[in-house]
Amino acid sequence: MEDLILIVILAVIIGLAALYIYKQKKKGSKCIGCPYGCSCSKNTENGGKGCCDHN
C-alpha cells in the first residue's frame, strides 16, 4: 500500500511539472527556469549569448 501511495505522489509531482513546462512553452517563454526569462531576448542581449548567461 505504501508503494502505491508513493507512486501516486511521484506521478502527481511529475505531472504538475510537465503541465508547468507545457504552459510556459505555450506562452512563449524562452528560458523557463531563468529569472530573466520574460525580460531578455535570447539573441539580442548579452552579445548573442543564451538567455540564462547573466553572469
Amino acid letter for position 52: C
Tell me: pLDDT of 1 over 90. no
Residue 44 within any structural domain of the chain: yes
pLDDT, tens digit, 9 for 90 and up, residues 22-53 = 998 888 777 777 766 556 655 454 455 555 55
Q: What is the pLDDT of residue 9?
A: 98
Residue 25 within any structural domain of the chain: yes
CA angle at 52 for the pair 13 and 21, rounded to the nearest 5°: 25
Q: Are 51 and 31 in contact (CB under 8 A)?
A: yes
**pTM of structure:** 0.59
Q: Which residue range(s) make up the domain with 31?
A: 2-48
Helix/strand/coil (H, E, C) string of the chain?
CHHHHHHHHHHHHHHHHHHHHHHHHHHCCCCCCCCCCCCCCCCCHHHHCCCCCCC
Please tell me the total count of domains within the chain.
1
Residue 28 within any structural domain of the chain: yes
Q: What is the pLDDT of residue 8?
A: 97
Q: Are 36 and 51 in contact (CB under 8 A)?
A: yes
